[in-house]
Amino acid sequence: MKLIIAIIRDVDNEAVCQSLIGANFRVTQVASTGGFLRKGSTTLMIGVEEDRVQEAIGIIRQSTSSPQEANIKRATIFVLNVTQFTQI
């Protein structure tokens, strides 16, 4: 199992989350502000099986809009190994 942490712009939050949920991914949202994007952002945590990582990243890529400013990134994505997953 993998954990995708995606930091996206607030303006893309609804489109990205709806697209991921529509493809049967479970998404946890955390409002955030930080140095990556320097404006209001949302951090998404998505637990996925390894064979679906590229699918999730593709959905994020397709669902984010191009920013007006040239130096602004659409998303910053981290993919981490998960050694244990428990729901209580």
- Whether the pLDDT of residue 87 is over 60: the answer is yes
- Mean per-residue pLDDT over the chain, rounded: 90
User: pLDDT digit string (tens) for 30-63?
Assistant: 987 766 545 678 999 999 999 999 999 999 999 9
For residues 36 and 17, the model is more confident at 17
Confidence tier at 8 by pLDDT (50, 70, 90): very high
CA-CA distance, 2 to 46, in Å (whole number)? 8
pTM here is 0.88
Q: For residue 35, what pLDDT is reported? A: 61
8 A C-beta contact, residue 41 and residue 80 = no
Domains of the chain: 2-81 (3.30.70.120)
